Amino acid sequence: MRRLEKLSIRNYKSIQDQTLELGQLNVFIGGNGVGKSNLISVFRFLREVVTQNLAGYTATKGGAETLLHFGRKISKSMSFSLEFAEGDKANGYNLWLLPTDDDSFLIQVEQATYQDKKRYPPPHKPFDIPVAANVRESGLREHPHQCAQQALSALESYRVYHFHDTSDSAPMKATGAIDDNRFLQPQAENLAAFLYWMQEKKPDHYRTIVDTVRQIAPFFDDFRLAPSRLNESRIRLEWREKGSDAYFNAHALSDGTLRFICLATLLLQPEPPAVVLLDEPELGLHPAAVSLLADLLSSSSTESQVLVATQSVTLVNQFGPDDIWAVDRQDHATIFRHLSNEDMGQWLDDYSLGELWEKNLLGARP
């Protein structure tokens, strides 16, 4: 499996200059405003770049001035570098951006890279594949080189999942198109259609999701998923309670239960995304559900690379130091520090990671 091994970020929001060497499971902890969510949003930003929506996305976020670290007076440019690896083969993607007078960005340099580390190990540098220069939008889609297309495939797949909106008008509670089932949408807008596809085509995975939901909602029996009798191209999330024939839809579920259903669907689906990106998934969950979520994240990391930003002590308690990144602000900039078993061994004999975090012995104070 090709994995994102290294990510370098320069002058993006609160992140001035950081390089992260990522593992399969990466849990980022820290207080409010330290920059955890900014890291997760890097992936959304890069996806918008390679899908040729840099100008539109920059405008919706308040312009280049807002996205640059302390604005263009401090940050004259912004850059990203990603290195993907599978065995001895590595390819990458590099992007340099300059702010423009109209508060947008110019792509100064865009390139893909390739390196056979067995034949040309470091300090040999990767082979650069020029993609675009001095343009307003990415040229990655049109570039024929295999490495460029591999980078495009990875970057296009990045979706940041937020299941926080469980209000009465939340898209996940509404009726949706039954054929919207190729992947789970970032806010689970197509939850009913996606579950229906699994019920019909991937029943083993569907049953696993149902059984998992029952662990945190003992009253839950099963979903009732079928095309609308009034319009067979539409579907909505319906379910039944144990021992009852009454009609229930998503509005009858608690916020925490509905969010957990979304998380279980994401993490237990048959074809998970290469990278799972979650920002504070513990929101509104009972502590028992948070513990089960940790198990799902660990299991999912055997097939997908997982990046999670959290403020949950309960969630942190379920992981080891090698899974944890402490996030702080120093000199007005976000700093990422990877913990390790070697550093924490003497403390873990007496305390859990969550307790050490609460005692401010990890930094990243909650």
pLDDT tens string 304-354? 999 999 999 999 999 989 999 999 999 999 999 998 866 676 777 788 888
Q: How confident is the model at residue 71 (pLDDT cuts 50, 70, 90)?
A: very high
Q: What is the pLDDT of residue 365?
A: 67
- The answer to whether residues 288 and 181 belong to one domain is yes
- The answer to whether residues 313 and 329 belong to one domain is no
Sign of CA pseudo-dihedral 160, 336, 36, 330: negative
- On the question of pLDDT at 117 being above 80, the answer is no
- The answer to whether residues 117 and 130 belong to one domain is yes
- The answer to whether residues 281 and 362 belong to one domain is no
**Between 60 and 366, residue with greater pLDDT:** 60
For 217, the domain range is 160-317
pLDDT tens string 17-26? 999 999 999 9
End-to-end CA distance of the chain: 34
Token pair 């909650």 in the structure block, residue: 366
Q: What is the pLDDT of residue 288?
A: 94
Residue 339 makes CB contacts below 8 A (sequence gap 6+) with 321, 322, 324, 325, 326, 362
- The answer to whether residues 282 and 345 belong to one domain is no
- The answer to whether residues 94 and 228 belong to one domain is no
- The answer to whether residues 220 and 361 belong to one domain is no
- The answer to whether residues 223 and 291 belong to one domain is yes
- The answer to whether residues 237 and 270 belong to one domain is yes
- The answer to whether residues 195 and 207 belong to one domain is yes
- The answer to whether residues 107 and 152 belong to one domain is yes
Q: What is the CATH number of the domain that holds 80?
A: 3.40.50
- The answer to whether residues 167 and 308 belong to one domain is yes
Distance CA 221, CA 213 (A): 9
Q: What is the CATH number of the domain that holds 231?
A: 3.40.50.300
Residue 50 makes CB contacts below 8 A (sequence gap 6+) with 138, 140, 141, 151, 152, 155, 156
Verdict on whether the full-model pTM lies above 0.85: yes
- On the question of pLDDT at 89 being above 90, the answer is no
Distance CA 166, CA 126 (A): 46
- On the question of pLDDT at 11 being above 60, the answer is yes
Report the domain count for the chain. 2
